[in-house]
Amino acid sequence: PYHNVKEGTAYPATLITAAEGDSRVHPFHARKMTAALQYATASDEPILARIESKAGHGAGKPVTKRVQEYTDVYAFLMWKLGMLSR
**14 lies in some domain:** yes
Q: Looking at residue 5, what is its pLDDT?
A: 98
Q: How many domains does the chain have?
A: 1
Confidence category of residue 63, pLDDT binned at 50, 70, 90: confident
**85 lies in some domain:** no
C-alpha 81/C-alpha 50 separation (Å) is 19
**24 lies in some domain:** yes
* pTM for the full predicted model: 0.86
**86 lies in some domain:** no
Q: Looking at residue 64, what is its pLDDT?
A: 86
Q: Which domain holds residue 16?
A: 2-80
C-alpha 63/C-alpha 86 separation (Å) is 30
**61 lies in some domain:** yes
Residues 6-60 have pLDDT tens digits of 999 999 999 999 888 877 788 889 999 999 999 999 999 999 999 988 776 666 6
Q: Looking at residue 58, what is its pLDDT?
A: 66
Is 65 strand, coil or helix?
helix
**19 lies in some domain:** yes
Q: Looking at residue 23, what is its pLDDT?
A: 76
